[in-house]
Structure 1
Amino acid sequence: MRIAFGVEYDGQPFYGFQTQKQEPTVQSCLEKAVSKVANHPVRVICAGRTDTGVSATQQIIHFETTAVRTPRQWVLGVNTAIHEGVSVLWAKQVDDTFHARFSATSRSYQYRILCRKVRPAINRHQLTWVLPPLDHKKMHEAAQYLLGEHDFNAFRSSKCQANNPVRTMHEARVYQVGDHIICEFRANAFLHHMIRNIVGTLLKVGKAERPVQWVEEVLLGKDRTKAGMTAPPNGLMFTGVTYPHSYRVPPNETD
Structure 2
Amino acid sequence: MAGWPIVRIRIDMAYDGTDFSGWATQPGLRTVQETLESALATSLRTPAVRVTCAGRTDAGVHARAQVGHADLDEGVVDGYVGRAKEPPLEALTRRLNGILPLDVRVHRVSVAPAGFDARFSALWRRYAYRISDSAATVDPLMRHQVLAWQRPLDLDRMNEAAALLLGEHDFAAFCRRREGATTIRTLLELSWSRDDLGLAVAHVRADAFCHNMVRSLVGCMLAVGDGRRRPDFAREVLLGLVRDGRVTVAQPRGLTLEQVAYPPDAGLAQRASDVRKVRSLD
TM range (shorter): over 0.9
Q: Distance in 2 between matches of 1:163 and 1:23?
A: 25
Which of 82, 86, 109 lines up with 2:127 in the alignment?
Answer: 109
Question: Between the two proteins, what is the percent identity of the paired residues?
Answer: 37
Q: Distance in 2 between matches of 1:134 and 1:46?
A: 34
Which of 38, 46, 50 lines up with 1:43 in the alignment?
Answer: 50
Question: How far did residue 187 of structure 1 move?
Answer: 0.5
Question: How far did residue 78 of structure 1 move?
Answer: 0.5
Single out whichever of 240-249 and 193-202 deviates more from structure 2.
Answer: 240-249
Residue pair 1:114, 1:180 contacting (<8 A) in 2 also = yes
Closer/same/farther in 2, CA of residues 50 and 162 from structure 1, 3 Å limit: farther
Instruction: Say yes or no: does 1:10 pair with 2:10.
Output: no
Instruction: Say yes or no: does 1:220 pair with 2:239.
Output: yes
Instruction: Say yes or no: does 1:172 pair with 2:194.
Output: no
Q: Distance in 2 between matches of 1:92 and 1:34?
A: 14
Residue pair 2:133, 2:151 contacting (<8 A) in 1 also = yes
Q: Distance in 2 between matches of 1:20 and 1:129?
A: 29
Residue pair 2:114, 2:265 contacting (<8 A) in 1 also = no
Instruction: Say yes or no: does 1:26 pair with 2:32.
Output: yes
Closer/same/farther in 2, CA of residues 113 and 22 from structure 1, 3 Å limit: farther
Residue pair 2:237, 2:244 contacting (<8 A) in 1 also = no
Instruction: Say yes or no: does 1:135 pair with 2:154.
Output: yes
What is aligned with 1:253?
none
Q: Distance in 2 between matches of 1:89 and 1:26?
A: 15
Deviating 4+ runs (over 4 angstroms): none
Closer/same/farther in 2, CA of residues 162 and 13 from structure 1, 3 Å limit: farther
Number of residues of Structure 1 aligned to a counterpart in Structure 2 = 248
- Structure 1: 5+ residue stretches without partners: 250-255
**RMSD across aligned C-alpha pairs, in angstroms?**
1.7
Which of 152, 159, 182 lines up with 2:201 in the alignment?
Answer: 182
Name the SS of the counterpart of 1:122 in structure 2: helix
Larger radius of gyration: 2
State the TM-score, normalizing by the size of structure 1: 0.92
State the TM-score, normalizing by the size of structure 2: 0.84
Question: How far did residue 71 of structure 1 move?
Answer: 2.6
